[in-house]
Amino acid sequence: MDNKLLLMREKVEILNKAAKSYYQENNEIMSNIEYDKIYDELLELEKETGITLSNSPTIHVGYELLSNLPKERHEKVMLSLDKTKDIVTLKDWLGKKEGVLSWKLDGLTIVMTYLDGKLIKAVTRGNGEIGEVITNNAKVFTNIPLSIPYKGSLILRGEAVIRYSDFEKINNVIEDVASKYKNPRNLCSGSVRQLNNKITAERNVNFFAFSLVKADGVDFKNSRISQINWLKSQGFDIVEFKQVNHLNIEETVIWFEEHIIENDFPSDGLVLTYDDISYGESLGTTAKFPRDSIAFKWRDEIKETHLLEIEWSASRTGLINPIAIFEPVELEGTTVSRASVHNLSIMEGLELGIGDIINVYKANMIIPQISGNLTRSGSVHVPEQCPVCGGKTSIKNENDVKVLYCINDDCLAKQIKLFTHFVSRDAMNIEGLSEATIEKLIAKGLIKELADIFHIERYKEEIVKMEGFGEKSFNKLVSSVNKSEKTNTTRLLYSLGIPNVGLSNAKLISKRFKYNWDAIESATYDDLVEIDGIGEIMADTYVKFFNNEKKKVIVKDILKEIELEVVEKSNVEQIFENINFVITGSVEQFKNRDEIKEIIEERGGKVTGSVSAKTNYLINNDNLSQSSKNKKAKELGISIVTESQFIEMLR
Ligand SMILES: NC(=O)c1ccc[n+]([C@@H]2O[C@H](COP(=O)([O-])OP(=O)(O)OC[C@H]3O[C@@H](n4cnc5c(N)ncnc54)[C@H](O)[C@@H]3O)[C@@H](O)[C@H]2O)c1
Ligand SMILES: [Zn+2]
């Protein structure tokens, strides 16, 4: 008995620690399969001993709320759902009643309250009794009706979820979080429970209503289905469902299983509810579950395989995550050979070692995961050097989760922005090379510097295997790379990502040095500040950039790959070559001074801001002006010409 009590304490502690990460920190320190296995073992022990510890997760919903969001008590407690993986149990549960079978969406459950046709409150499930108020965030969900035709008091429940197709896109551009989200559920939870709804708005959160709690004065004819359809008529997106009875329930479950692959929303099973509302309510609840509904969890296909290797994948945040590579196995109809291990804590929990016999499955039938390790040799060695830059790594502890980082600020993995800028439309204009793809190529060590992008065809084998890539899109990419090799100095200068050198400055500088790269590269500080629109700070960073030894190599390597066309070189005769102008005072025949300046520069001349010994002409309509420029020009014996005389010169 003592021994069993000890075991129970141990399991409660493990489960509560995992639940804290899962619900509170949008993190996971173990897989759901592992969690559910320990949970079931605990349930079994509780049954055997007749004892349930007060902090047992078998009698609590969710986890205590620790966030800074305001809290509120639910009008009606929000419970969890009893579960089965057995289709016969599901059928028996339904008996001769009519049922509603719907996707069990895997996101964050929210209760919405409408009054006078307006959304007035949105609260998360929280620990079932108290939730977090996230009204402002709910207002920016992509598909939420902010006002509805029904004007009475309405309370409904539904799931906030993020699409698989949005998950990677969104996760990739999140820069301010130390660790990336592991799955759409984590991302959704992190996106909905924000203090600032600007962030929520960027995350494409969808809301699907699945049940109605209250709508005074509406007759639903005692039917859950009629409630859901009514919600639809009010403008809500509702969870996809099918009406079932004992005759068709099995084939309907199979229908859902076959269609999960087309479902862009994460779902961890199905939910079956009695259509008969008053019957369902008459059954009451247990401490944790309502008796009118039951969840059907996917019976995950689990395969045994050998761990071949741990690949260490660095990302722009500096985080280096372990990815397990194993002998390929068939899972839910596809061949799988890799699974993210997410972080060091999970890796250590699984005691992974090369050659170990591991169990793998697809979470929610989609994302490959390791669910267990049968041999637990624990021999995987955490790298002391970053796989990308070779710099030192360091282990950090974030909310009880151990993660590995590269601490080198110059690490290429952290410079992904530089690469995406390089290939962007106004720069090298390489189509079909997304940030995600570049990040993967860098992580694999295939791209080490900007010039490597021009050799992308070498990595065909790796690239065609990437998500969203095929032979066709790869060929398109290669031809886009080839096309980009013929470029011009403006694009090249802009593509280098020199601080403050935007497209218009790149144009100015390029033009000023007549599209001659050698001249552009060796522009001096004085040359640069003389260009109108180029300030001292920019001139300074520009010169420093081209004097930096590392940058010199980067530029030299790029130049080996490209051909600089002498574009934009005007056909206009270069009559002002080596002639310096200063323009002062108001102009009458031209739009403004800039127009004159352009005309001069087009003809090879230069316009500067102040009169010096180098000035050849001062353009000024008022010869008698006492301006400092005028005086200086006279002192130095520089010709002062009017606009009309300038026009003469043009002829
Ligand atoms: N990996 C971990 O460390 C870890 C930790 C804690 C919990 N978990 C996972 O969470 C599970 C328990 O989670 P839970 O109790 O929060 O939720 P649950 O899995 O029991 O799901 C119940 C909830 O699903 C929601 N839901 C979604 N779609 C619905 C629909 N169509 N109709 C009705 N309800 C719908 C409801 O809000 C309901 O409360 C465990 O089985 C485990 O897999 C994992
Ligand atoms: Zn590094």
**Residue 575 is assigned to a structural domain of this protein:** no
Assigned domain for 239 exists: yes
In sequence order, the 6+-apart residues with CB closer than 8 A to the CB of 409 are none
- Among residues 351, 382, 406, the one where a domain terminates is 406
Are residue 460 and residue 513 in the same domain, yes or no? no
Query: What integer pLDDT is reported at residue 428 of this predicted model?
Result: 94
**Which residues fall within 8 angstroms of residue 628, CB to CB, at 6 or more apart?**
none
What tokens does 516 get?
Answer: 């001659």
Q: Could you tell me the CATH number of the domain that includes residue 439?
A: 1.10.150.20
Side chain identity at residue 330, one-letter code: E
| 574 within some domain | no
- Which of 110, 159, 237, 369 is the pocket-test mutation for ligand 1 (most atoms within 8 Å of CB)? 159
Does 386 count as an annotated binding residue?
A: yes
Q: In this structure, are 269 and 254 located in the same domain? A: yes
Tell me the pLDDT tens digit for each residue of 474-510: 899 999 999 999 999 999 999 998 888 888 889 889 9
Centre a 10 Å sphere on the Cβ of residue 172 and count the other Cβ atoms it contains.
Answer: 16
**Tokens describing residue 627:** 């301006």
Q: Is 25 in the pocket of ligand 1 (CB under 6 A)?
A: no
Residue finishing a domain among 247, 262, 297: 297
Q: Indicate if 359 and 228 belong to the same structural domain.
A: no
- To the question of whether residue 338 is assigned a binding role by annotation, the answer is no
Same structural domain, 172 and 145: yes
Indicate whether this complex's ipTM tops 0.90. yes
430 CA distance to ligand 2 middle (Å) = 26
Task: Judge whether 64 lies within some domain.
Answer: no
- Helical pair 435-443 and 416-423, crossing angle rounded to 10 deg: 130
To the query of whether residue 118 is one of the catalytic residues in this protein, the response is: no
Which residue range is the domain that position 334 belongs to? 303-406
Residue 569's pLDDT band (boundaries 50, 70, 90)?
low
In a domain, residue 591? The reply is: yes
Statement to judge: residues 505 and 474 lie in one domain: no
Could you tell me if residue 544 is inside a domain? yes
Asked whether residue 433 carries a pLDDT value surpassing 90, the answer given is no
28 CB near ligand 1 (under 6 Å): yes
Cα distance between the two ends of the chain? 108
pLDDT digits (tens, 9 = 90+) for 254-278: 999 989 888 899 999 999 999 999 9
Q: Which atom of ligand 1 is nearest to the CA of 268?
A: 19
In the set 104, 180, 362, 606, the catalytic residue is 104
Whole-angstrom Cα distance, residue 318 to residue 592?
50
**CATH number assigned to the domain comprising residue 622:** 3.40.50.10190
Q: What pLDDT is stored for residue 178 in this prediction?
A: 47
Helix orientation angle between 164-173 and 184-192, rounded to the nearest 10 degrees? 60
Q: Are residues 117 and 200 in the same domain?
A: yes
Tokens read off for 309: 């290797």
329 lines ligand 1 (CB under 6 A): no
Say whether both 493 and 478 belong to one domain.
no
Number of the ligand 1 atom closest to the C-alpha atom of 21: 3
CA distances from 104 to 101, 275, 470 (A): 9, 16, 32
Q: Bridge partners of 582?
A: 608, 618
Same domain, yes or no: 370 and 453: no
Out of 529, 564, 599, a domain closes at: 564
> Does 620 map to a domain?
yes
**Mean pLDDT over all residues of the chain?**
90
Cβ of 104 closer than 6 Å to ligand 1, yes or no, is yes
Evaluate whether 248 touches 87 at the Cβ level (below 8 Å): no
Residue 506's alpha-carbon distances to 219, 254, 488, 500, 511, in angstroms, are: 68, 60, 11, 10, 8
Distance (angstroms) between ligand 1 centre and the Cα of 481 equals 47
pLDDT band at 567 (very low <50, low <70, confident <90, very high): low
In percent, the amount of the chain with pLDDT more than 90 equals 60
Examine the domain organization and report whether 608 and 535 are in the same domain. Answer: no
Predicted pLDDT at 177: 47
Atom number in ligand 1 closest to CA 29 = 3
Name the closest ligand to CA 60: 1
State how many domains the chain has: 6
Residues 553 and 479 in one domain: no
**Tens of pLDDT, residues 140-193:** 999 999 999 999 999 999 999 999 988 878 877 665 444 567 788 988 998 999
CATH of the domain at 315: 2.40.50.140
The protein residue with its alpha carbon nearest to ligand 1, atom 43, reads 32
Cα–Cα distance, 42 to 48 (Å, whole number): 10
Tell whether ligand 1 has an atom less than 6 A from the beta carbon of residue 511. Answer: no
Q: Indicate whether 284 and 430 sit together in one domain.
A: no
- Per the domain annotation, does 401 fall within a domain? yes
Centre of ligand 2 to C-alpha 314, Å, is 7
CATH number at residue 14: 1.10.287
Ligand with an atom nearest the CA of residue 317: 2
On whether both 138 and 174 belong to a single domain, the answer is yes
Dist. CA 631–CA 639, nearest whole Å: 12
- Least confident range from 107-116, 212-221, 535-544: namely 535-544
In sequence order, the β-bridge partners of residue 309 are: 325
Whose CA is closest to atom 29 on ligand 1? 104
Angstrom distance (rounded) from CA 528 to CA 451:
27
